[in-house]
Amino acid sequence: MSKRVIRSPFLVINPKAFLYGNSSLELALEADKLSEKYDIDIIFTAQYVDIPTIKEKVKHLILTTQHMDGFKPGPGMGKILPKALAEAGVEATFLNHAEHPLTIHQLSEAVKYAEKYDILTIICADSIMDAKMIAVLEPDVLLCEPTELIGTGKVSDDAYMEKTNKMVRELSPNSLILQAAGISSGADVKKAIQLGADGSGGTTGIVKAANPIGVVEDMLKELSQLKGGKS
């Protein structure tokens, strides 16, 4: 087994705990069709219990957990085991999200186990200083997202995106950069990529929209045009 390769530009659909069961599966199935239609990689997060079901029914999505512990099988009540995730078909994990922060030790342990089981790491950074420290861990994807903008529909300003993009490129050139704070439309996604990110996406901007699939397709259309060299 080897790590999945994420092609840039890519999209993230992160339902957090808003969706589960059939609602999560339905969104995943539609996103899977759109991923094939536009030939764009989609990182799709799901509740742990839903991943095996979704894995059986999709072909293109990069199935991702919203957290993982750096832990081996044994005593550890409530721990999310990397080995169990890998055997369930998980290909990536978010780490250190503002809603599930980790200490540096916990984060480094999680990265170590992710490497062992070929699980892609998507590590979240709140500030520019935070991003600077996390870049040293050389994550597969570094998410630059100010906590105060999460769920607000307000996108990070140009200066923040440009500065974090430049810093990550210098400190961890092999890491892909994800800018996703407040993203809710194709126009937001386009702007993030044009300012230097490799990927974008969101949570509430998608799952709370009147037509979530329509929002996803709007985002993918923009990414497809950017991928084709159109502005």
CA distances from 79 to 69, 100, 110 (A): 6, 13, 11
* Of the options 1.10.730.10, 3.30.2310.20, 3.30.499.10, 3.20.20.70, the CATH number for the domain spanning 10-227: 3.20.20.70
Cβ proximity of 82 and 113 under 8 Å: yes
Whether 145 is catalytic is yes
Tokens encoding 7 = 């092609």
Q: To the nearest 10°, the Cα dihedral for 46, 50, 51, 55?
A: -120
| pLDDT for the residue numbered 181 | 76
Whether 148 is catalytic is no
- Comparing C-alpha atoms, which of 122, 71, 132 is closest to residue 100? 122
Catalytic member of 67, 87, 99, 145: 145
- Taken in order 174, 177, 164, 82, the sign of the CA dihedral is negative
Per-residue pLDDT of the chain (231 residues; tens, 9 = 90+): 689 999 999 999 999 999 999 999 999 999 999 999 999 999 999 999 999 999 999 999 999 999 999 999 999 999 999 999 999 999 999 999 988 999 999 999 999 999 999 999 999 988 778 888 898 899 999 998 765 445 545 566 788 888 888 888 998 999 999 998 788 999 999 999 999 999 999 999 999 999 999 999 999 999 999 997 654
Strand partners, 199: 10, 178
Catalytic member of 30, 91, 97, 170: 97
The ranges assigned to domains in the chain are 10-227
Total-model pTM? 0.93
| pLDDT for the residue numbered 155 | 61
Cβ proximity of 177 and 168 under 8 Å: yes
